[in-house]
C-alpha cells in the first residue's frame, strides 16, 4: 500500500523543514510547498491525501488557499496550522470543511501530538475506504 501523502504548506522554510521531517518520522510521505499557488497545483494533480495549511501566508493566506482547494477537491481533508488560535480565525471557515485547527506553538497544547493523531485518523479512514 502506498504511503499516505501529506501536503505541507507554509511560507517559513525552517518550519517546512522541521515539521516535514517530523511528519516523515511518523511514516508519512511529505510534500512541502511554500505557498498557495504550489499547493493548488499539487491538489489539482491529486498528489496529496491530506493538506496542512498555514493560516498566515503572504500573497495567498491559508483561507484563500483553502477556498481555491475546495473548488478543485471538496473531499480532501485539511488541517489548518495557526500561530493565533482565536475564535475569529475559526469563524467563517465552517463552509470550507477544515478538519482541525492546530496551534503552531503553544504552551497550552501539544500541537505535534494533536497533528499526529489527526493524521493517523485520516490515514485509517482512507485505508478503510480503499479496502
Architecture of domain 5-130: 3-Layer(aba) Sandwich (3.40)
The pLDDT assigned to 110 comes to 59
What pLDDT shows up at residue 24? 93
- Alpha-helical regions (H) of 46-110: 62-72, 87-90
Q: What nine digits make up the cell of 89?
A: 480565525
Q: For residue 108, what pLDDT is reported? A: 46
Q: Taking the domains of the chain in order of start, what are their residue ranges?
A: 5-130
Cα-flanking dihedrals φ and ψ of residue 14, to 5°?
-60, -40
Q: What is the model's pLDDT at position 38?
A: 95
Alpha carbon distance 92, 96 (integer Å):
8
pLDDT at 37: 95
Per-residue pLDDT, 94: 63
Q: What is the pLDDT of residues 20-30, one digit of tens each?
A: 999 999 999 99
Q: Which residues in the chain show pLDDT less than 50?
A: 107-108
For residue 130, how far is the Cα from the chain centroid? 21
Amino acid at each position: 500500500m502506498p504511503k499516505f501523502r501529506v501536503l505541507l504548506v507554509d511560507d517559513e522554510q525552517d518550519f517546512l523543514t522541521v515539521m516535514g521531517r517530523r511528519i516523515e518520522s511518523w511514516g508519512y510521505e511529505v510534500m512541502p510547498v511554500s505557498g498557495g499557488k504550489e499547493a493548488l497545483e499539487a491538489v489539482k494533480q491529486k498528489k496529496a491525501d491530506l493538506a496542512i495549511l498555514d493560516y498566515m501566508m503572504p500573497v495567498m493566506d491559508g483561507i484563500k488557499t483553502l477556498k481555491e482547494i475546495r473548488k478543485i477537491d471538496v473531499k480532501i481533508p485539511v488541517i489548518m496550522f495557526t500561530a493565533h488560535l482565536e475564535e475569529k480565525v475559526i469563524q467563517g471557515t465552517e463552509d470550507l470543511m477544515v478538519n482541525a485547527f492546530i496551534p503552531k506553538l503553544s504552551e497550552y497544547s501539544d500541537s505535534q501530538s494533536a497533528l499526529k493523531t489527526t493524521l493517523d485518523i485520516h490515514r485509517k479512514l482512507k485505508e478503510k475506504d480503499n479496502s
